[in-house]
Amino acid sequence: MNIIFESVYTPNWFDAIWGIVDSMGGWINLNTEYKQKVMVMCFRTFSIDPNIVLNKLELALNLDDEEDCKHLSTLLQYNTQKCDSKKLIAFYNKLVKFGGQ
């Protein structure tokens, strides 16, 4: 299963794999290992189409949950090029409550 997540780097594949995740109950029902695999997929796709990644994460993540905030924070710390600045500001403002970890 690792190879599926690690091979995704285009928006079409990202969307297809995310659809499978959604059909199996979505992000909230993934265990820690699969959440990390999904974030690998997000990292790989982000450089090509950051907006598709941010849009999916905006809907899926619970930003009242510290672990979800850590996933988002890590992604944003390493990848901020070509992003909608308004969306980034909104995400950063939500992350502030957890100290931007």
The pLDDT score that the predictor gives to residue 100 is: 46
**Which of the pair, 6 or 68, is modelled with greater confidence?**
68
The pLDDT score that the predictor gives to residue 83 is: 67
The pLDDT score that the predictor gives to residue 86 is: 75
| pTM of this structure | 0.80
| CA distances to 32, 35, 97 from 65, in Å | 13, 13, 11
Which has the closest alpha carbon to 87: 49, 56, 48, 58?
A: 58
pLDDT digits (tens, 9 = 90+) for 25-60: 999 999 999 999 999 999 999 988 888 999 999 999
d(CA 25, CA 87): 26
Identify the H or E element spanning 59. helix 50-60
Could you give the maximum distance between any two Cα atoms of the chain, in Å?
Answer: 35
